[in-house]
Structure 1
Amino acid sequence: MIVRKLYASAAAGVLAALLLPAVAMAQQVDIGAPAPPPTTPAAPTANDTKTPATDAPAAPTAAKAAAKRYVPNHMLHQRDTSPGSQIGDTQSAAPPGLFGDWRNSRTWLGERGVDVSARYASETAYNPTGGKHQAITETGQFDIGAKVDMGKLVGLEGGTLQATLTWRRGDNLSDVAGLNTLQQVQEVYGRGQTVRVTELWYEQKIGDSVELKLGRTNPGSDFAVFSCHFQNLTFCGAQPGNLVGDYWQNWPVGQWGTRLHVDVRPGVYVQAGVYEVNPLNLKNNFFVARWHGATGVLIPFEAGWTHGGDGGHVGSYKVGGWYTTANGSDVYLDINRRPIVVTGLAPLEHSGRYGGYVSVQQQITGKSKDGKSLDGLGVFANFTQTDRATAVTDNQAVVGVFYKGLATWLPGDVLGVAFGRTNVNGRAADADRLVPGTPVRDAEYAAEIYYSVTPLPWLELQPNVQWIHHPGGVRSADEVVVLGLKGAITL
């Protein structure tokens, strides 16, 4: 009977995702913004990434029903303590938008456990210096989806169903202007400008400390989780996907996967997952799911500690790693273990690939509530190391700060500053030295500063300035300066 209910509700959830304007993206949880208690029928706050999908005029009982959402326990541990932009982060849940309650349809669905919304995020960039020539480009992502509370819908307590479609469009300045950067200056671009089924997964809480998730998802949703408030990809999302994106496929790519999360004790957790590695998932055409073409599996694992709550400074500390059974080509040696650039033969194949990461976020000053930083200064640092046999970019290090509340009269103001280094594998640099006239690559350095404001509850504007030193890791390359504008509209 439960299985029949599960299949029926899954079909309803997918239908809602495909036919209703919606997005309830569970790529990550941002605890940097205040959220009303689940039973409080309050109007949306200016920086609430978990605001109920109803507008203020709704009846109190309807608002309460819409506000009651099941939040998987593991999401409380995937804390991102950066002050949350409410809609500028293209991988987090959006608040109610421009068209409010959609003639009471959002309230009606919310009462039945279906959380829906829709959003368009845009990133514009212009390079006054650097690159082959000056250009200006705009790229964006439209998201539509539904998140279903199975307890409300069919009485299956602790269950959540998520379905999300994404459509990416536009042009990338790194390509158009010939910036030759290792990391994109518009993070929302990439992985094919196409419509995708990014998420179609089910998660079930088992007891008080265990959650199991399975379906179409991606490892960056649950492992090495980090926000995408910055526009430069160096500072966006799960770092492993920035370095070894051929097999660790972040948002918006979906692949078959499962994740088991266990709370060891309050604030401490361990988790592991298994995800399909399938190059066909990167094809630029629409599909719901692929049933063939897999080359192996990705097995990530992570342990973490989170702390803070009402009145305390929130923090998140994570350490993890991964191993994939998918083969990888050597960056330097051929099948005879001689330099590829000299012989021109096929590369040596390795039967496994691996890496590890550390992520730290800590609120330093200000107040917090319900595990979210409300204002003040926060710092973060991320580091990822991949294997040197197969990864051209083998490590990335990032540090930065967020400060929320510089101008209390500006709604949702957040200042972000970050510095990062993306390293080119020394073995790949050795190959460069063997080809006369080829620049020897080293490391690319990037910095970004942005200031985000929310003039309207459904609109966010975030101007930014980026600086890229040694683009492509080439020391002789001219420095690149990018003027950007990141914005988003919730519908």
Structure 2
Amino acid sequence: MNRRAFSHHLVASSALAGALACLSPALAHADDAVAFELEYTGDVLGPIAGANRQGEYLDNLDIAATFDMQRLAGWRDTSVFVHLLNNAGGAPNDRAGTLQGVDNIEVTQQGARLYEFWVETNIGAINTRAGLYDVNSEFYANESAGLLIAPAFGIGSELAATGPNGPSIFPSTGLALRFATQFSEHVSGRFAVVNANASVLGDADGVDTSFDNGALVIGELTWAGATSIDIGAWTYTEEQGDIRLLNGLGDPVSQRALGAYLTAERELWMDATAFVRLGVSDGDTTPYNSGWQAGLLFTNVAPSRPDSQLSIGAYQGRFDSKFRANQRDGGIDAARAETGLELTYSDQVTPWLRLQPDVQIVFDPNGDRDREDLWIAGLRFAITPFGH
């Protein structure tokens, strides 16, 4: 990033921080029937080896509110959730030239969005959500991976790469109906039907209500114990185009997109938690036929810093033979996988400011064996006016 652009972003960040500080007293004293959340996240991130060494600044503003409709309107066991996003800045994922990305707040289309807007209520023992819904908020997610910045730790690449324009995850969601229930003390489950075309207010086409591309159907079972385990499966109601095979008219052959995944996490000792995630997919409609992520989260890293956290993680997206054949057709020495490692440290330096330095290395970036290892370094900061 050039000095002028970097200076401009610092001025903008300072102005926003001041505005958030002014807003916080008013929002903090809002009626208890409305709970507000506000966070500004900024990243300075870029390659330091293996690609053009140039940092990028990008940011993410989250404004969310949960409305207790029983207190506000007398609707029993009902709440409404609204989540707004604004994203701006550079594109370190594009600069790094990897397939799975290196920064989880980068977006393709910048600007403001209505990210989520759903109503939640209980129908007997079934908890229901309806509206614009982020699948990754409850499916294919584990808390101990949440500190890591690489996108693969958010949702497995073999699922993230599906759908006409990506599934209903950050930064664009789709209309959904989600059901959840508790079967026993340790076993719970959830099931969702989600518009395959993820599009919200702020996107070019606004909220899609047609379901012309069908729906993503996903289900997950959870065992909550000393080791927490999630087992999930997903598919689309409409077939999608094969990434290589063509029919007699020269169009992609239609294939069924489907997959399954498993996540597990366990507290190893007082301040350390381990996680592992495995996913598989058809491999016909995306570059990936499988993938995995694993890591450790340490809390209270420094005795004098109770909010300090350290996380180390590894991930791999494994490519299908069809994608590798496409790579070879393009003159690339195709690798079987793209693999990454990440080390990150986070500390709450004030009640409203969190700092997080981050280092990553990617092997065979873009699935190209001829590329040298890619090193990424950066700093994330998060401003939370209400405190963490």
| TM-score, with length taken from structure 2 | 0.87
SS of 1:322's equivalent in the other structure is strand
2:103 maps to 1:186: yes
CA–CA separation in structure 2 for the residues paired with 1:400 and 1:315: 15
CA–CA separation in structure 2 for the residues paired with 1:151 and 1:269: 25
Within-5 A mapping of 1:403-482 = 403-433=298-328, 435=329, 437-482=331-376
| Corresponding position of 1:107 | 29
Contact 1:191 1:253 survives alignment (8 Å): no
Match of 1:357 among 236, 243, 261: 261
CA–CA separation in structure 1 for the residues paired with 2:258 and 2:346: 36
**Superposition CA RMSD, Å:** 2.3
CA–CA separation in structure 1 for the residues paired with 2:200 and 2:211: 9
2:58 maps to 1:142: no
| Corresponding position of 1:270 | 189
Contact 2:100 2:157 survives alignment (8 Å): no
| Corresponding position of 1:328 | 240
SS of 1:148's equivalent in the other structure is strand
How far off is 1:243 after superposition?
3.4
CA–CA separation in structure 2 for the residues paired with 1:319 and 1:329: 27
- Residues 100-129 of structure 1: per-residue CA shift (max 9 Å, x gap): 88445433322xx10013211112113110
Match of 2:281 among 352, 373, 386: 386
2:38 maps to 1:122: no
SS of 1:298's equivalent in the other structure is strand
How far off is 1:353 after superposition?
1.4
User: What one-letter code is carried by the residue in structure 2 that aligns with 1:126?
Assistant: G
Contact 2:243 2:322 survives alignment (8 Å): yes
Judging changes above 3 Å, is the alpha-carbon distance between structure 1 residues 436 and 183 closer, same or farther for their aligned structure 2 residues?
Answer: closer
| Corresponding position of 1:261 | 180
Judging changes above 3 Å, is the alpha-carbon distance between structure 1 residues 436 and 116 closer, same or farther for their aligned structure 2 residues?
Answer: closer
Judging changes above 3 Å, is the alpha-carbon distance between structure 1 residues 238 and 222 closer, same or farther for their aligned structure 2 residues?
Answer: farther
| Corresponding position of 2:76 | 157
User: What one-letter code is carried by the residue in structure 2 that aligns with 1:480?
Assistant: L
SS of 2:147's equivalent in the other structure is coil
Contact 2:158 2:317 survives alignment (8 Å): no
CA–CA separation in structure 2 for the residues paired with 1:401 and 1:140: 26
Judging changes above 3 Å, is the alpha-carbon distance between structure 1 residues 330 and 281 closer, same or farther for their aligned structure 2 residues?
Answer: farther
Contact 2:327 2:334 survives alignment (8 Å): yes
| Corresponding position of 2:7 | none
| Corresponding position of 2:4 | none
SS of 1:109's equivalent in the other structure is coil
| Corresponding position of 2:213 | 295
Judging changes above 3 Å, is the alpha-carbon distance between structure 1 residues 262 and 240 closer, same or farther for their aligned structure 2 residues?
Answer: farther
| Corresponding position of 2:3 | none
Contact 2:175 2:194 survives alignment (8 Å): yes
2:128 maps to 1:234: no
Identity of aligned residues (%): 22
Judging changes above 3 Å, is the alpha-carbon distance between structure 1 residues 279 and 154 closer, same or farther for their aligned structure 2 residues?
Answer: closer
Where does structure 2 lack aligned partners over 5 or more consecutive residues? 1-18
How far off is 1:233 after superposition?
1.1
CA–CA separation in structure 1 for the residues paired with 2:244 and 2:102: 28
Contact 1:262 1:271 survives alignment (8 Å): yes
2:319 maps to 1:319: no
User: What one-letter code is carried by the residue in structure 2 that aligns with 1:251?
Assistant: F
Contact 2:311 2:344 survives alignment (8 Å): yes
Match of 1:305 among 216, 223, 226: 223
Judging changes above 3 Å, is the alpha-carbon distance between structure 1 residues 239 and 253 closer, same or farther for their aligned structure 2 residues?
Answer: same
User: What one-letter code is carried by the residue in structure 1 that aligns with 2:341?
Assistant: A
Judging changes above 3 Å, is the alpha-carbon distance between structure 1 residues 401 and 244 closer, same or farther for their aligned structure 2 residues?
Answer: same
How far off is 1:168 after superposition?
0.9
Judging changes above 3 Å, is the alpha-carbon distance between structure 1 residues 480 and 405 closer, same or farther for their aligned structure 2 residues?
Answer: same
Where does structure 1 lack aligned partners over 5 or more consecutive residues? 1-96, 308-313, 337-343, 367-375
**Higher deviation after alignment, 143-152 or 100-109:** 100-109
CA–CA separation in structure 1 for the residues paired with 2:239 and 2:205: 26
| Corresponding position of 1:22 | none
User: What one-letter code is carried by the residue in structure 1 that aligns with 2:85?
Assistant: T
**Higher deviation after alignment, 323-332 or 245-254:** 245-254
Contact 2:141 2:154 survives alignment (8 Å): no
| Corresponding position of 1:85 | none
User: What one-letter code is carried by the residue in structure 2 that aligns with 1:258?
Assistant: L
Match of 1:211 among 127, 134, 150: 127
Identify the structure with bigger relative contact order (alpha carbons < 8 Å, sequence gap 6+): 1
CA–CA separation in structure 2 for the residues paired with 1:128 and 1:469: 14
| Corresponding position of 1:68 | none
User: What one-letter code is carried by the residue in structure 2 that aligns with 1:149?
Assistant: D
User: What one-letter code is carried by the residue in structure 1 that aligns with 2:183?
Assistant: V
Q: How many residues align?
A: 364
CA–CA separation in structure 2 for the residues paired with 1:240 and 1:250: 14
How far off is 1:203 after superposition?
0.7
CA–CA separation in structure 2 for the residues paired with 1:357 and 1:436: 31
| Corresponding position of 1:33 | none
User: What one-letter code is carried by the residue in structure 2 that aligns with 1:115?
Assistant: A
SS of 1:116's equivalent in the other structure is strand
CA–CA separation in structure 1 for the residues paired with 2:135 and 2:194: 7
CA–CA separation in structure 2 for the residues paired with 1:411 and 1:286: 46
